Structure 1
């Protein structure tokens, strides 16, 4: 039969049997679960809003970029043609919009100076040591007018240099201003030197040798001036000369730039006394095609807005930036594209046929667009450029206004707000994680201390149990 003392000691227990490490972790997690759950749910909602706002902004800016690219290089880019294709071809740089037609008469093509030296036995023949000096300027008959703005180039030639290595040194020292190579023909090996196009790129070659004079084996053999008989001038450097609408012009190269409207020409042949015509135009059907595609893209954006801005289930159902975007789209057809338009010339996107349906979608009034093209073709053409005004500039401003992050009422402002809230919530979650970990560590310390106290108590109880048992046995 168990004694009263033994019963009391048994009631105190023989150890806790509790996993205090897990208990501390569970209590700390439970303490912050509600806060963490609320913030996590808000983060998920914010992620959806950020994605939706970024998707809409991307759609608008992407449409603007695509429109600009199509105007610059697509079917709206002006196409140039030359009636006599043998004379020249046109250059239309991106962003330019040349219009109309011009007469072109090319009287002289640009050319480069070509100088051929007297011959040697082979490309490996030594040329003699000394110094060659290249001077640039204009060659005219037997005279040379040096270009004071260009420094002379001195080329050091050693006693081991051959005709081949001399050619390499000339090309390298001049930085390509004179290209030199060795040509071996029926008369032997000759040094060929070619300058760049343009009258100012003529050159003469001064040679200072060992004193043997202009004979083979001495560097002076390669010296040349317009008045000398050393070598042979095969071609003189000249500027291109032409008349555009009878106005005389020149160019140092056959690639002419900076002509009216920004266009250029690649001159290929002369046509003295027989002017040809250079003309620029855009296919009228291209305007209709672009406006049809523009309306289609706008309607895709409207569909996204309706989906993302739905009162129930829409990620941006109550977003001020989306509401502002809706209002701006509703007024898009009335936006002035050409503030300088006069009389009946088209001024707005509406004049190009853009109109709004009652449900907020867009449609193209083809009849109105056709009327504008027929009555004001040049004015319509001017609307499809990449300058300060025009369809692209107007929609680009529209896209920028709605993407502006400094405007809290814009779509860009909404996106920035959501991203800022995301960052703040991420900081709160990180702070909660720190607080939770601190609580876990504190509870672990406290529970561990309690476990030690329980263990000490159990040791004492075991001793007391032994003593009680001894006392009980002695009584019997």
Structure 2
């Protein structure tokens, strides 16, 4: 009679009992994990879209782009905002703004131990007073120490030391250009034996540009960057004209290519979010009945999403769809050439968009950037899902936490199953061991009657 193996038989009985539970728990965990991964993917897509909206919806932003083109290079760099009026302007750069710079040359290496130097800085409440009786009372300060002392004052003036042969000079410079940032120096008479009189290296000077030619309207500015001398235009002056030079012509016009690119960035960001949602919510029926012949730019899905039956996930698509097809202060997205595909993604009808750009550019910005515009509507709509500071909530994170809780509970059930199966195994092991011992006793008893 062959010997039975109690351990093997006990394990076989346990495997038969636990197999349905193992399959059930594995399927549950796989389902919950797939759903959790899908929600994480959607959460990431919402985060990216929220950041894109924030970057787009800045105070001075515009999808209507203008160009500013000078007839000659080298004199100015110019940029035009969406609010700039189209036209041309003759510009003559009379002078560039510059910072004041003074050189004070020492007659020797030693600094005085008495006397006062006063530096009056335009726009500063208090002058910088250098009392050498205090600053150099021990007679051990150097010209570098003096430069550091002036630097620490930090009121619109900088100091450095220049050595040329045997000469040592203290160079004082305005931190900013323009006459309003000039400074003046005054010395006690006693300091003449230590310092040569200051030498002006550059005078404080405003930038001057003439609109209309050399004898036109003067525009003066402390900086070489001039904002809104021409409404909506920023000028950066880089070189001055010589007297009697021909002025350059600055042409302000629409930049349809840049405008289209700006709107394409919005459409791409929106579609990336929508396609992520579609990937996880498409049903088999939708896939089978998607003829989509006219939506060549739509993504084609071949597999149903794990959130196809999730009402929260489906509501996201509906929410975005309603906004994309909605009415804003100055019209709809469709009215400016931005159309919705059947799956909810967007596309640009270039011909109609360029027509809107040429005829009613202000309408484009009103639809996107108005108080009740598309960008504001989208920001408000996604707020509960992304958990911004204003909403105090985050539905996407809530769904993820719920699914993670389900996964953890299945893991607890698996641990409990392991505990029960261990007890079951031990019970079967005792039973089969007792059976084995009984059979061995019977076999031993039977052999006594064999001759």
TM bucket by the smaller chain?
0.5 to 0.7
Q: Quick one: which of 84, 109, 114 aligns to 1:99?
A: 84
SS of residue paired to 1:423:
helix
| 2: CA distance, partners of 1:151 / 1:442 | 89
Answer whether contact 1:153 1:173 (CA < 8 A) is retained: no
Shift in alpha-carbon separation, 1:174–1:285, aligned structure 2, 3 A: closer
SS of residue paired to 2:169:
strand
SS of residue paired to 1:148:
coil
Aligned to 2:353: 369
Deviation at 1:349, TM superposition (A): 0.8
Aligned to 2:30: 44
| 1: CA distance, partners of 2:418 / 2:113 | 85
Alignment of 1:89 with 2:74, yes or no, is: no
Alignment of 1:422 with 2:406, yes or no, is: no
Structure of greater Rg: 1
Aligned to 2:335: 351
Q: CA RMSD in A?
A: 5.3
Answer whether contact 1:117 1:191 (CA < 8 A) is retained: yes
Alignment of 1:267 with 2:237, yes or no, is: yes
Please give the residue correspondences for 1:179-190 in structure 2 after superposition, counting only pairs within 5 Å: 179-184=159-164, 188-190=167-169
Name stretches of at least 5 consecutive residues in structure 1 with no aligned partner.
1-15, 139-145, 223-229, 342-346, 407-411, 455-460, 462-476
Answer whether contact 2:211 2:217 (CA < 8 A) is retained: yes
Name stretches of at least 5 consecutive residues in structure 2 with no aligned partner.
285-303, 389-393, 435-440, 442-451
SS of residue paired to 1:129:
coil
Answer whether contact 2:52 2:269 (CA < 8 A) is retained: no
Shift in alpha-carbon separation, 1:250–1:422, aligned structure 2, 3 A: same
SS of residue paired to 2:327:
coil
Aligned to 1:114: 101
Deviation at 1:303, TM superposition (A): 6.1
Answer whether contact 1:355 1:363 (CA < 8 A) is retained: yes
Aligned to 2:281: 309
Q: Residues 17-61 of structure 1: CA distance to partner in whole angstroms, max 9, x if unpaired?
A: 9669x979x96x988775565344222112222333443454566
Shift in alpha-carbon separation, 1:128–1:33, aligned structure 2, 3 A: farther
SS of residue paired to 1:136:
strand
Shift in alpha-carbon separation, 1:56–1:152, aligned structure 2, 3 A: same
SS of residue paired to 1:421:
helix
| 2: CA distance, partners of 1:135 / 1:446 | 98
Aligned to 2:124: 147
Please give the residue correspondences for 1:37-436 in structure 2 after superposition, counting only pairs within 5 Å: 37-56=23-42, 58-59=44-45, 62=48, 77-83=65-71, 85-90=73-78, 97-100=82-85, 109-118=96-105, 120=107, 125-130=109-114, 133-138=117-122, 147-148=124-125, 152=129, 156-157=135-136, 159-172=139-152, 174=154, 177-184=157-164, 188-196=167-175, 197-205=177-185, 213-216=190-193, 218=194, 221=195, 230-240=197-207, 251-257=221-227, 264-269=234-239, 278=250, 280-288=252-260, 307-312=279-284, 313-328=304-319, 330-337=321-328, 339=329, 341=330, 347-356=331-340, 364-380=348-364, 382=365, 392-393=375-376, 400=382, 403-404=385-386, 413=395, 415-416=396-397, 418-432=399-413, 435=416
Deviation at 1:420, TM superposition (A): 2.9
| 1: CA distance, partners of 2:367 / 2:24 | 52
Q: Residues 209-240 of structure 1: CA distance to partner in whole angstroms, max 9, x if unpaired?
A: xxx92344x4xx36xxxxxxx32334333444
Count of residues paired in the alignment: 399
Shift in alpha-carbon separation, 1:173–1:259, aligned structure 2, 3 A: same
Answer whether contact 2:32 2:407 (CA < 8 A) is retained: no
Q: Residues 412-433 of structure 1: CA distance to partner in whole angstroms, max 9, x if unpaired?
A: 74x4454233232244245446
Deviation at 1:184, TM superposition (A): 1.9
Aligned to 2:301: none
Deviation at 1:243, TM superposition (A): 6.9
Q: Residues 374-421 of structure 1: CA distance to partner in whole angstroms, max 9, x if unpaired?
A: 3224434x35976756665555556x2684569xxxxx74x4454233
Deviation at 1:195, TM superposition (A): 1.9
TM norm structure 1: 0.61
Answer whether contact 1:168 1:181 (CA < 8 A) is retained: no
| 2: CA distance, partners of 1:258 / 1:355 | 36
TM norm structure 2: 0.64
| 2: CA distance, partners of 1:349 / 1:75 | 13
